[in-house]
């Protein structure tokens, strides 16, 4: 049962026959997110780029990365779209909750973008460069859904 | 460097449609293969090896190399499968080129195919992306393309109307191509009034889903001249990948096609691509790419793509026609799509493109695009390469 609780994605009551490892770096990201609501990036020793999510190797420099840096939790919309067409999510077999905001968030202090939902309560606020912050889940399990979505911050 | 220079000596395509329930996959493949053999005036006995591919998670049939032999003619021949997502068709062409260029095989049959009607395209494309970090919000190819378009528009100020002009061009060109799926002209108003799928992409900005197959026969310089008097010489090929997760992408610029094109120009000694290239078959799955990627290709400066499109320069009869076939917006059997670009570029060089022929083609480019955002490219020429 413990394994089932750790499933990243649930398909209603059914599990899926996939069991992906996120690696030591991904695990540390999820642990910090779950326990401290903190977001971690990792810095390349060669080019200085800060990657989110953290991973072991900077592909461009092909260099091992070991230096974690805290990023966010606020950031800006790097790019985005609003999904309006209905389609079945192959992960769950259920229809995606369209329309929804699909954000690429650049956390403060990060160079790459983090993909997540953006609240589209007011679509006119969804713009590249808009300031956003995450809304965390009360019950966090150590996966990407520990962030429920991002929302645009007024007045910043 | 290649051991043997390589030419395309024959091509064949099915009449692509949204749904071909009259044939199964092998039979669809066979239609294209028979047409390519007939075009080259060869028989299957002349073929030394087969390279075949599709996006195998679409149909959910994962041993296509063996399963397809009744249709491909690959029975008891060397067959390899290549599948690289959206670029599958162009990767097949590059793989076939490598096999012949190596000197190991003299005549290679290259086949790309897809029966998109047989499954859920968006669902299947999602499985091509990272399960932990990408899939929560990812919504198939259109979502990534929309992210690119938004980033480009924010930077350079292009509009939905500019993009619509590209759709209008490709759909008009498609009317000249009997193999294209969508052969009806549309207007800018039609595009802007069509349903918004993912901002800023309307339904008529994007490619359809198609059933279809394409076959191309490649031959070494030792025999190409005996097969045809008008071989399409493959001068060089290039391929680039850049990121692991979609959040790593430099959105708004297609770095992979920029680098691939510079490799090709350097190898072939092309200094002014806009003047030296006569036609491009661009794997352009949505209209905005028709503006953005010609900048990355170095055809025009950054931010000048829309202006160039509006000038008519990329229309038939213009300075540099793009997608005389109607391109991907008019027809998209995904595993075949990149190979169709290659075959259409070959037809242009061989002078066999009929109603969609661009006059006096010396150099043509065909490209492939995957998922978001990797690229393949081939340079085709009338003259045998001098390297």
Q: What percent of chain B has pLDDT over 70?
A: 100
The mean pLDDT value for B354-365 works out to 98
* Residue A131 tokens, joined: 């300031």
- Residue A37: the pLDDT is 97
Q: DSSP E strands: which ranges in chain A?
A: 39-43, 50-51, 57-58, 63-64, 67-71, 75-83, 100-107, 114-118, 131-136, 147-152
Distance separating alpha carbons of residues A51 and A69, to the nearest angstrom: 9
B208 and chain A in contact, CB less than 8 A: no
How many CB atoms are closer than 10 A to CB B281?
28
Question: With contact defined as beta carbons under 8 Å apart, do B138 and B129 qualify?
Answer: yes
Q: How far is CA B84 from CA A152, B95, B284, in A?
A: 37, 11, 17
Q: DSSP E strands: which ranges in chain B?
A: 6-13, 49-53, 79-81, 107-115, 196-198, 201-202, 211-220, 232-240, 279-281, 363-370, 374-381
CB within 8 A of B277, min separation 6: which ones?
Answer: B270, B320, B363, B364, B365
Min Cα separation A113/chain B (Å): 4
B:242-301 residues touching chain A, CB 8 A cutoff: 242-249, 251-252
For the cut 90, the answer to whether the pLDDT of residue B128 exceeds it is no
**Which residues in chain B have their CB less than 8 angstroms from residue A143's CB?**
132
- Residue A154: the pLDDT is 81
Could you say which of A59, A115, A145 has the minimum Cβ distance to residue B244?
A: A59
Q: How far is CA B308 from CA A14, A92, B256, B298, in A?
A: 53, 44, 22, 12
Start-to-end C-alpha separation, chain B: 8
B137 and chain A in contact, CB less than 8 A: yes
**Which residues in chain B have their CB less than 8 angstroms from residue A112's CB?**
245, 247-248
Residue spans of the domains in chain A: they are 2-152
The mean pLDDT value for B359-373 works out to 94
- Residue A1: the pLDDT is 39
**ipTM surpasses cut 0.90:** yes
- pLDDT tens digits, one per residue of B231-253: 999 999 999 999 999 999 999 99
**Which residues in chain A have their CB less than 8 angstroms from residue B151's CB?**
78-79, 128
Are B136 and A144 within 8 A, CB to CB?
A: yes
**Which residues in chain A have their CB less than 8 angstroms from residue B243's CB?**
59
The mean pLDDT value for B325-348 works out to 98
pTM exceeding 0.90: yes
Domains and CATH numbers, chain B: 6-120+210-227 (3.40.47.10), 121-209+234-381 (3.40.47.10)
Closest A-chain CA to B127: A90
* A7-21, A121-135, B112-126, B134-148, range with the lowest pLDDT: A7-21
Closest CA to B376 of B115, B92, B167, B1: B92
**Which residues in chain A have their CB less than 8 angstroms from residue B160's CB?**
none
Distance separating alpha carbons of residues A67 and A64, to the nearest angstrom: 10
- Please, where are the H alpha helices in A88-138? none
């Amino acid at each position: 049962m413990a394994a089932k609780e750790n499933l990243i994605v649930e398909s209603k009551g059914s599990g899926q026959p996939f069991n992906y490892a996120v690696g030591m770096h991904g695990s540390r990201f999820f642990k910090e997110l779950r326990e401290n609501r903190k977001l971690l990036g990792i810095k390349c020793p060669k080019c200085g780029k800060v990657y989110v999510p953290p991973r072991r190797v900077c592909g461009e420099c092909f260099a091992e990365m070991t230096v974690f840096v805290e990023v966010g939790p606020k950031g800006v919309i790097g790019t985005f779209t609003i999904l309006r067409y209905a389609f079945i999510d192959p992960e769950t077999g259920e229809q995606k909750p369209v329309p929804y905001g699909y954000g690429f968030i650049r956390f403060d202090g990060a160079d790459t973008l983090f993909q997540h939902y953006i609240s589209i309560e007011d679509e006119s606020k969804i713009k590249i460069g808009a300031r956003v912050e995450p809304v965390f889940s009360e019950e966090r399990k150590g996966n990407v859904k520990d962030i429920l979505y991002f929302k645009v911050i007024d007045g910043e | 460097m290649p051991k043997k220079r390589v030419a395309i000596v024959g091509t064949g395509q099915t009449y692509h449609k949204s749904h071909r329930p009259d044939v199964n996959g092998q039979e669809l493949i066979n239609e294209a293969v028979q047409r390519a053999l007939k075009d080259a005036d060869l028989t299957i006995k002349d073929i030394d090896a087969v390279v075949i591919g599709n996006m195998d998670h679409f149909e959910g049939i994962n041993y296509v190399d063996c399963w397809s032999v009744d249709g491909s003619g690959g029975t008891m021949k060397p067959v390899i499968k290549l599948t690289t997502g959206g670029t599958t068709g162009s990767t097949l062409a590059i793989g076939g080129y490598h096999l012949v260029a190596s000197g190991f095989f003299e005549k290679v049959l290259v086949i790309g195919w897809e029966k998109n009607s047989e499954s859920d395209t968006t669902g299947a494309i999602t499985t091509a992306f990272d399960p932990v970090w990408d899939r929560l919000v990812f919504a198939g190819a259109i979502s990534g393309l929309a992210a690119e378009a938004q980033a480009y528009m924010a930077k350079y100020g292009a509009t939905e109307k500019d993009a619509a002009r590209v759709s209008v061009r490709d759909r008009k060109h498609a009317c000249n191509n009997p193999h294209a799926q969508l052969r009806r002209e549309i207007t800018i108003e039609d595009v802007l009034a069509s349903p918004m799928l993912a901002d800023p992409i309307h339904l008529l900005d994007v490619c359809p889903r198609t059933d279809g197959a394409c076959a191309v026969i490649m031959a070494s310089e030792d025999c190409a001249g005996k097969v045809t008097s008008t071989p399409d010489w493959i001068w060089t090929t290039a391929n680039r990948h850049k990121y692991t997760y979609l959040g790593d992408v430099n959105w708004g610029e297609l770095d992979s096609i920029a680098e691939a094109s510079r490799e090709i120009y350097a190898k072939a000694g092309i200094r002014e691509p806009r003047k030296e290239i006569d036609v491009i078959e661009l794997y352009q799955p949505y209209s905005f790419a028709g503006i953005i990627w010609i900048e990355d290709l170095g055809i025009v400066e950054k931010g000048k793509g829309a202006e160039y499109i509006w000038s008519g320069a990329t229309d038939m009869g213009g300075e540099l026609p793009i997608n005389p076939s109607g391109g991907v917006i008019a027809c998209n059997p995904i595993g075949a799509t990149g190979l169709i670009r290659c075959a259409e570029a070959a037809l242009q060089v061989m002078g066999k493109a009929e109603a969609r022929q661009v006059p006096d083609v010396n150099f043509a480019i065909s490209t492939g695009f995957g998922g978001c955002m990797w690229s393949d490219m081939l340079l085709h020429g009338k003259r045998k390469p001098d390297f």
